[in-house]
Structure 1
Amino acid sequence: MKNLVWLLAVVLTACSSVKKIESLKPEPDDAAPLIYDTEPSFLNMPVEISIQDIENQINKTLNGVIYEDKDITDDDIKLTVWKQAPIQLRSEGGKMKVILPLKAKIFYRYGTSKLGIDLYDTREFDLNGVVSLLSEVNLLNWKLQTKTRISDLDWKESPSMTIGSKVVSITYLVDPAIKYFKGKIEKNIDDAIKKTVDFKPQVLDALAKMSEPSLASETYQSWVRFTPIEVYATDATIGKSTLVMDMGVKCKIETLVGAKPKSLFNRDAVVLKAVKSVPHAVNAKVIAVSTYADAEAIITKNFAGQEFASGSRKVKVEQVKLWHKSGKIVVALTLSGSLNGDIYLSGFPAYNAQTKEIYFDNLDYVLDTKSTLIKAANWLASGTILKKMQQACRYSIAPNLEEGKKQLQRYTSNYSVMPGVFVNGTMNDVVFDKIQVNNKAILAFLEVSGKVTVKVDGFK
């Protein structure tokens, strides 16, 4: 009788108590740093610079005396040449035409020297004229390089003087002297352009500013980080009113979740490479990085308020944990209700392009979990409940993608990266490429295409 009472008590206790399940936990892979493969993006940035801006800068640089010959004894001429009025730049036949108004003060010596006695007289003249030069343009070591040659010299007046019984044109005497200052003027023009149009500081300053990680979504704490690797540039060409040069940036673009990441920009490591052509379309490969902690928080919210039932037996998911195991993601669900304890699912991370969600393909109970459930809670092992759970084991990266796209669009809507430099363009929809996983995060690789132009307006 005593044994019967004891047995009945055990049965009643067992019937009234909640079952506790203990499955063998699949241990995560060994810890390692967050390292992932990245494919570089390529941003095309055709740069336009107003010829008027270059003209303004040359006029600031080139002033005053541009040639001086103080020795009158070698050729009987001493002269000083000044820039008389602002230099003008024009486009002509694919070259840059330089119009240089100048004035010259000329001392002409005539006479002879006999028996050691100088019998010379010197006359002083002022001439006004315009020198026309043509410049071939190319880019070398970040700087605009020109090869300038004088094409024409037009004196506005042609004074003359009487020597003995002859009337001598002063321009006739001066023009041969051009060979002495011709090269000097050409060099001064080239040096002024080289000094004025040095792209390196402007380009690197712009890239440094663009490389500062930018908050894409405050809600999801996602950041866009742009890291340039190389810069490509074609030779500059002269348009009707602009100097045009195709530039391209090889870079890495990431979308990171969590605290603000550090900028990886290293201005000393950026290399400028000369190329014959640059594709006009932008091809940006964006990496959306979701740490397991962030994904866990989102999926745990998905399970909030849900019950998974079979008859009178019900369970709730209280907490979700994720980790990487042999190329798969383990989803640990902490249950309460008719069954307490942790169960483990595993599957391959995948991307749904329609819903823009990360989900887990072929999600199933881990082998030991399934065996345990069949023995202790066969109702929970059924495929119906597993499918319902699978629906909640997903999280959307649409807000991150949309915010990331908006952020990129902000960079392409007359965005001023620095005074006088404006970026414009268009961005197409984000296209999924692939997913990678490691022991710290799920990485979605995406592609964004479009067009970008950079205009320099008011070159500093």
Structure 2
Amino acid sequence: MKFTVLLVFIIAFIVVSCGSSKKIETLKPVADLANPIMYDKEISYLNIPVSIKLKDLAYQTNTILKGLIYEDAILEDDNLMIKVWKQAPIEITDDKGKIKVVLPLKVWLKVRYGSNVFGMDLYDTRELNFNGVATLIGEAKFTNWQLSAKSNVQSVVWKESPSITIAGKSVPITYLVNPAMNYFKSTIEQKIDAAIVKSLNFQDNVLDALEEITKPVCVNESYDTWFKLKPISINATEAILKQDVVSMNLELACFMETFIGKPFEDTFNRDEIQLKQVSKTKDQFLASLIVVSPYLKASEIITKNFHGQEFTSGSKKITVEKVNLWHKNGKVVIALTMKGSLNGTIYLSGIPKYNIDEELIYFDDLKYVLETKSTLMKTANWLAQGIILKKIATYTKYSIKPELEVAKTQMEYYLKNYSPAKGIVINGNLAPIVIKNIQLTDQALVATISTTGKVALKIDGLQ
């Protein structure tokens, strides 16, 4: 009887022992110091052909140049007072590659005529109004952020010859009007050039737009993904006028980044953005975009991969409850917190690489950390076997396809009839996105992706 009770007790002890969980203690690899995220960046070059229709240039010029444009209020110096108004809208057209400006004029004159006889002033004055048209020709120039015409008055044609009636006779006064034209022409040229410069001052518009897009933008709330652009400089070619369209190329050099988790905002300094005049720009843009995946975010995603997965060997089974990642000596440490036949945390390490076909980041040469392997060999050899490790490796793969799609969608958004303002339209196309390299930092895994494409900006119907 005593033997039977003892036998039952031993069998029960063995069964309980075999079915209970074991607690393992493994040495945790110490993470590298958590310094700020630092990684190599590649400059993106966004080539933007710009075309401006002359009718839009005329529209803007007419809104600026209004009313009185010239006045000579002194009579005594040349026996002439004159006021000149813009009478009707200005027309701007292409004249063999030059800007032709036709300016309808309304002129008021006050003329003094007569002579001084024996010390007596025998003068009289007359006032008259007449109309004319001034024609100016200018070269389209783009310098220092501004489009200018460098206009010169070619002719002023009066609808009627300037004259006054004395004693019933028409007396031409062209000899009085023409000397004043030298001053008149110079003023008109300056007024027209100033209006064109003011109507298309790129600096404020471009810098305002750049300041806006340097602010981090959340492009995918589900993945907490943010896009950030940091401009460096802008190159511009000379303006070319052809078939009533002014064309030039702008090339923006910048850094482009996508963060998982909101990045820090940089203070935008307008004075740091340089405009350089160049003879030629690239015929397409090259975009190198940084995708920053903090280990904390990657840990959360991989933890979800393990949800509901069981790893078995005979009667032994475990599930992974939590995953943590960090950087150590050029590799990524993967900490798996488990429960089941074995309770505790084990540590693996591997080198992240990108599988272009599956669009996944995987960990090459994935192994148990040396101290972890030694512990498993002593207490849970079944878990140390390669077949279990291969199964685990399957769930440590990390997809950045959503981030790539977000990056592509974000760029394409600005390339499909994007209109930042009325009359301005941007169109373009992208080549497939390619992963160039993966870098490890103390806080994050950083992937550099690149793409090429073309983009064009047209100004049509500007208001």
TM-score over 0.5 for the alignment? yes
SS of match in other structure, 2:382: coil
Q: Which AA in structure 1 matches 2:242?
A: G
**Native 8 Å contact 1:209 1:417 kept in 2:** no
Farther-moved stretch of structure 1 (238-247 vs 284-293): 238-247
SS of match in other structure, 1:298: helix
Q: 1-side partners of 2:35 and 2:125: how far apart?
A: 88
**Native 8 Å contact 1:227 1:264 kept in 2:** no
Q: 2-side partners of 1:91 and 1:242: how far apart?
A: 8
Q: Percent identity?
A: 47
Residue in structure 1 matched with residue 368 of structure 2 by the alignment: 365
Deviation at 1:15, TM superposition (A): 4.3
Deviation at 1:348, TM superposition (A): 0.8
Residue in structure 1 matched with residue 231 of structure 2 by the alignment: 228
Q: Which AA in structure 1 matches 2:241?
A: I
Deviation at 1:210, TM superposition (A): 2.8
Q: Are 1:432 and 2:435 counterparts?
A: yes
SS of match in other structure, 2:279: coil
Q: 2-side partners of 1:78 and 1:217: how far apart?
A: 68
SS of match in other structure, 1:26: coil
When normalised by structure 2's length, the TM-score is: 0.89
Q: 2-side partners of 1:215 and 1:412: how far apart?
A: 19
Residue in structure 2 matched with residue 86 of structure 1 by the alignment: 89
Q: Of the candidates 394, 399, 403, which is equivalent to residue 400 of structure 1?
A: 403
Q: 1-side partners of 2:21 and 2:61: how far apart?
A: 87
Residue in structure 2 matched with residue 416 of structure 1 by the alignment: 419
Counterparts of 1:2-17 in structure 2, within 5 Å, are: 12=14, 14-17=17-20
SS of match in other structure, 1:413: coil
Q: Of the candidates 327, 330, 339, which is equivalent to residue 327 of structure 1?
A: 330
Q: Of the candidates 370, 380, 385, which is equivalent to residue 382 of structure 1?
A: 385
**Native 8 Å contact 1:206 1:418 kept in 2:** no
Deviations along 1:25-59, one digit per CA (max 9) or x if unpaired, are: 11111121223332221212222333222212222
Q: Which AA in structure 2 matches 1:28?
A: A
Q: Which AA in structure 1 matches 2:45?
A: F
**Native 8 Å contact 2:19 2:341 kept in 1:** no
SS of match in other structure, 2:140: strand
Deviation at 1:260, TM superposition (A): 7.3
Deviations along 1:297-331, one digit per CA (max 9) or x if unpaired, are: 22122222323233333222222111100110001
SS of match in other structure, 1:344: strand
Q: 2-side partners of 1:239 and 1:53: how far apart?
A: 15
Q: Of the candidates 306, 315, 322, which is equivalent to residue 309 of structure 2?
A: 306
Deviation at 1:263, TM superposition (A): 6.4
Deviations along 1:125-156, one digit per CA (max 9) or x if unpaired, are: 43322111012222333222331111122222
Q: 1-side partners of 2:234 and 2:225: how far apart?
A: 27
Deviation at 1:391, TM superposition (A): 1.4
**Native 8 Å contact 1:210 1:417 kept in 2:** no
Q: 1-side partners of 2:19 and 2:425: how far apart?
A: 73
Q: Of the candidates 451, 455, 463, which is equivalent to residue 452 of structure 1?
A: 455
Residue in structure 2 matched with residue 25 of structure 1 by the alignment: 28
Residue in structure 2 matched with residue 71 of structure 1 by the alignment: 74
Query: Quick one: structure 1 residues 159 and 288, their matched pair in 2 at CA, closer, same or farther if it must change by over 3 Å?
Result: closer
Residue in structure 2 matched with residue 96 of structure 1 by the alignment: 99
Q: Of the candidates 157, 160, 176, which is equivalent to residue 157 of structure 1?
A: 160
Q: 2-side partners of 1:103 and 1:382: how far apart?
A: 97
Residue in structure 2 matched with residue 249 of structure 1 by the alignment: 252
How many pairs align? 458
Deviations along 1:390-435, one digit per CA (max 9) or x if unpaired, are: 1111111111211221122112222232444332221222111111
Residue in structure 2 matched with residue 336 of structure 1 by the alignment: 339
**Native 8 Å contact 1:45 1:454 kept in 2:** yes
SS of match in other structure, 2:40: coil
Residue in structure 2 matched with residue 282 of structure 1 by the alignment: 285
Q: 1-side partners of 2:205 and 2:36: how far apart?
A: 36
Deviations along 1:86-122, one digit per CA (max 9) or x if unpaired, are: 1111111222111111132334444432332223344
Q: Which AA in structure 2 matches 1:394?
A: K
Q: 2-side partners of 1:210 and 1:318: how far apart?
A: 40
**Native 8 Å contact 2:216 2:262 kept in 1:** no
Q: 2-side partners of 1:337 and 1:124: how far apart?
A: 108
SS of match in other structure, 1:294: helix
**Native 8 Å contact 1:45 1:247 kept in 2:** yes
Return 5+ residue gaps in structure 1 as ranges: none
SS of match in other structure, 2:410: helix
**Native 8 Å contact 1:225 1:263 kept in 2:** no
Q: Which AA in structure 2 matches 1:381?
A: A
Q: 1-side partners of 2:180 and 2:103: how far apart?
A: 18
Query: Quick one: structure 1 residues 159 and 152, their matched pair in 2 at CA, closer, same or farther if it must change by over 3 Å?
Result: closer
**Native 8 Å contact 2:151 2:189 kept in 1:** yes
> Considering only aligned residues, what root-mean-square deviation do their CA atoms show, in Å?
3.0
